[in-house]
Structure 1
Amino acid sequence: MAIPTISNVPEDVHRALRTQAEQHGRSTEAEVREILAVAFKPENRVLVGDALAAIGRKSGLTDEDFAILESVRDRTPAEPPRFE
């Protein structure tokens, strides 16, 4: 796991962080982890797999439709792009 180091945090910000951590019953380090998790992994984020599954449900494809698509799919490897 990465260990970030944050330098030059203003004293009033550090004090507020410590106070908030105490209010939540956490260490300052645990409070920072929680703040980062909330900021970068919000509960309402759209997960790619969920979005793709929703598109599949909305399109109305059945398992039989999918099997037909799989049976006619060209399995030849794609040619890599040429940058000449």
Structure 2
Amino acid sequence: MSTLTIRNLDSATHRGLRLRAAAHGRSVEAEVRAILDDATRRQRRGNIALAFRDLALAEGGIDLDLPPRTIDDDHRAVELD
């Protein structure tokens, strides 16, 4: 396990952490660990659309074949006069 020291923490921030920790029934240290774990977990989860975009860009892009457009009985052309 690693150790992290935070210097020059504002007293209002420390007070807020103490109140938040008490509301969750844990120590300030455990509360800070939970906050950091949650923040990094959310960052790791990320956005799947952005992940796919980044993969495609890394490969130089992706060309998708589009199906041919046809007009059938259910779909008719619109006439604009």
TM-score range, shorter chain: 0.5 to 0.7
Q: After TM superposition, where is structure 1 displaced by more than 3 Å over at least 4 residues in a row?
A: none
Match of 1:9 in 2: 9
What do residues 8-48 of structure 1 show as CA deviations (whole Å, max 9, x unaligned)? 000000000000000000100000000000100129816xx
Greater C-alpha Rg: 2
With normalisation by structure 1, the TM-score equals 0.51
Unaligned runs of 5+ in 2: 52-81
Query: Cα 1:25–1:43, aligned 2, differ >3 Å: closer, same or farther?
Result: farther
Gaps of at least 5 residues in structure 1 are: 52-84
Q: Percent identity?
A: 49
Q: How many residues align?
A: 47
Q: TM-score, normalised by structure 2?
A: 0.53
Aligned residue number for residue 68 of structure 1: none
Q: Distance in 2 between matches of 1:15 and 1:42?
A: 25
Q: RMSD between aligned alpha carbons?
A: 2.1
- 1:30 has 2:30 as partner: yes
Aligned mates of 2:32, 2:14 — CA distance in 1: 11
Q: Secondary structure at the match of 2:42?
A: coil
Q: Secondary structure at the match of 1:12?
A: helix
